[in-house]
Structure 1
């Protein structure tokens, strides 16, 4: 696996002049589908990781090893540059350093570390952030844990919706000074907010969950946004399809009359059946 090549392609997006939507992926098959459909990068979120690996909500009960293991399975299945949401780095700054080491080994192209105080502390009713100083310490530790200089590390904050725009900009500027490769802002809802962030910072921008006035790719590109997430609907769609198929079978629908089922050709394509057929012939004499 040429991880550096993927990371260089990821960096090319950040250093380019246009904004792309990543394909939200959660396992090897979904990553192959995203690659086949032409997505430039994949996005593996902590929330979908918790759903996929544990069947649990996004409450930071997933472990680093579980997350890195699934990221590796996704990466080895194809050639799609993968960005991952490393949440808070699974602990303090030393844990964040270890997180980068593990995810780099798993082959990710880029990762984001956030300054939300996670997991939710006892007695906390609303999300809260760590101090800027602690956030800077985590960013520096993450950068120190990087061995391949092509790996992209983004500083992420949800301050816009928790403490306000001014604090979000202060955090972004602090993480820039710490040396991260990009800034990831969650909770930006208006063009005025994005205009202010873009004017006050220098690095490529990543936005989480854009909607409304922030769906115009030309506008986002002009504001230095290079990656704009659209949510993680593919996993929810998969859950719906599985639920409806099993329900139909349970209710007596014959397998041959099920709807919405992948045909044999699609299944062969996403499982790389032709590759395995060739390898069987070459290596087993079959």
Structure 2
């Protein structure tokens, strides 16, 4: 599947009338599993990227090069469309433009550019936003950096929980006027907030999380929410599994007595073993 086909698949989701949950992916194994399980979209979150690549919390330590390279590995491993959390674009508007170019080349189906002030300012313990004017400049630069018109670019804001609902709406309307393909919101905690945002805007909406009271997909779809994230449980579960396995081995448990190991057929599917064997026969003349 070509990169454009993946991007068009994401555009179809955004243009539809249903809301879906994406699969949280962060490496070649997780994206293949998500694809095999039938997820229509993968989400490569910033926190998952930071943990998978650096083992660090999500405090803007990861670099664009590291993020793009990990996306490139996933694009090679599977054809699942992936929406990438590109944070603040790794600098000013000019850096945002390059961020778009690099992630496009790495095979991302879409990406988000947010208006959070990153990295965190000295002496300030609460999240801050850049100005609306700077946010608009970043969005314009992102759109200018796009080479493939099918690449999805979402304007993202966390203003609902950082400043106010009114500010979130003003920023969303400004990003919409720039020509983004959709709007990504974090920090929404109540239905009246989403209702107000949906009434004031017209683009597809992606939610970066919401309380259980807003988990009804039909309700979300009626407010133009097309993608609703569910956090990044897969990497958390993988972390626990590795910890428990190594702990058991360290305590003297025999490898044959370990619990929670995958069956051999699952590992074979994840490795695409049958495809590899076919290529070995075709290209190296090896017997089956």
Q: Shorter-chain-normalised TM-score: which range? A: over 0.9
> Matched residues in 2 for 1:165 and 1:190: separation?
11
In structure 2, the partner of 1:219 is: 219
How many residues are treated as equivalent by the alignment?
Answer: 286
Query: Once the 2 structures are TM-superposed, how far is the Cα of residue 211 of structure 1 from its aligned partner?
Result: 2.2
Unpaired runs of at least 5, structure 1: none
* DSSP 3-state at the match of 1:123: coil
**Alignment of structure 1 residues 198-237 onto 2, 5 Å:** 198-237=198-237
In structure 2, the partner of 1:73 is: 73
Does residue 180 of structure 1 match 2:171? no
RMSD: 0.6
* DSSP 3-state at the match of 2:230: coil
* DSSP 3-state at the match of 2:74: helix
CA deviation map 1:223-272 (0-9, x unaligned): 00000000001000000000000000111111111111111110000000
Query: Once the 2 structures are TM-superposed, how far is the Cα of residue 210 of structure 1 from its aligned partner?
Result: 2.0
Structure 1 runs (4+) deviating above 4 angstroms are none
Unpaired runs of at least 5, structure 2: none
In structure 2, the partner of 1:58 is: 58
CA deviation map 1:136-187 (0-9, x unaligned): 0000000000000000000000000000111000000000001100000001
> Matched residues in 1 for 2:142 and 2:76: separation?
23
* DSSP 3-state at the match of 1:206: strand
* DSSP 3-state at the match of 2:189: coil
Normalising by structure 2, what TM-score? Answer: 0.98
> Matched residues in 2 for 1:89 and 1:56: separation?
19
> Matched residues in 1 for 2:211 and 2:2: separation?
35
